Amino acid sequence: MAGRAMLAAGMTEKRLLVVGAGTMGTAWARMLAEGRAPGVAPAGVVDIDGARALELANAVGCRAFGEIATAVRETRPDAAYVATPDGQHRAPVEELAALGVPVLVEKPLATTADDAEAMAEAVQRAGVHAEVNWLQRWNPPFAEAARVVSAGELGDIRLFNGRLNQVVSSPGERLRWSGGTTPAWYLMSHLLDLALWLGRKRAVSVYALGGRGELSGRGIETYDWVHAIVRYADGADGVFEACWILPDSWPAASDLGLRVVGTRGAAEVEGGQQGLALASERYRLPSVLQWAPQRLAAFLRAAEGRGGPGASFDDGVAVTKLLVALHRSLESGAVERVV
Ligand X SMILES: NC(=O)c1ccc[n+]([C@@H]2O[C@H](COP(=O)([O-])OP(=O)(O)OC[C@H]3O[C@@H](n4cnc5c(N)ncnc54)[C@H](O)[C@@H]3O)[C@@H](O)[C@H]2O)c1
- Residues lying near ligand X in the complex (CB under 6 A) are found at 19-25, 46-49, 52, 83-86, 88, 91-92, 106-107, 133, 135, 175-177, 186
Q: Report d(CA 69, CA 92) in Å as an integer.
A: 10
Give min distance, CB of 135 to ligand X, in A: 4
Nearer to ligand X, 92 or 162 (CB): 92
Provide the minimum distance between the beta carbon of 49 and ligand X in the complex, in angstroms, as a whole number. 4
In terms of CB distance, is 75 or 205 closer to ligand X? 75
Quick one: 201 or 295, whose CB is closer to ligand X?
295
Tell the smallest beta-carbon distance from residue 190 to ligand X (Å): 7
CA-based diameter of the chain, in Å?
61
Beta bridge partners of 227: 209, 241
Amino acid at 253: A
* CA 82 – CA 103 distance, rounded (Å): 7
The residue at minimum Cβ distance from ligand X is 22
- Minimum CB–partner distance for residue 84 and ligand X (Å): 4
286 with 272: CB under 8 angstroms?
Answer: no
Shorter beta-carbon distance to ligand X: residue 23 or 124? 23
CB of 189 to ligand X, least distance (A): 8
- Report the C-alpha gap between 195 and 271 in whole angstroms: 15
Q: 261 CB contacts (<8 Å, ≥6 apart)?
A: 154, 157, 158, 159, 160, 161
Give the nearest distance from C-beta 284 to ligand X in angstroms: 20
Shortest spacing between CB 236 and ligand X, in angstroms: 25
Quick one: three-class SS letters along 159-177? EEEEEEEEECHHHHHHCCC
Beta carbon nearer to ligand X, 49 or 268: 49
Taking the C-alpha atoms of residue 330 and residue 338, their distance in angstroms, rounded to an integer, is: 14
> How many CA atoms lie less than 13 Å away from 187 in the CB half-sphere?
29
85 or 179: CB nearest ligand X:
85
To the nearest 10°, report the CA torsion of 55, 56, 62, 67.
-90
Instruction: Judge whether 189 and 323 are in contact, CB under 8 Å.
Output: yes
**Closer to ligand X at the Cβ: 233 or 289?**
289
Distances (CA, A) of 3 to 34, 81, 85, 129: 10, 18, 29, 23
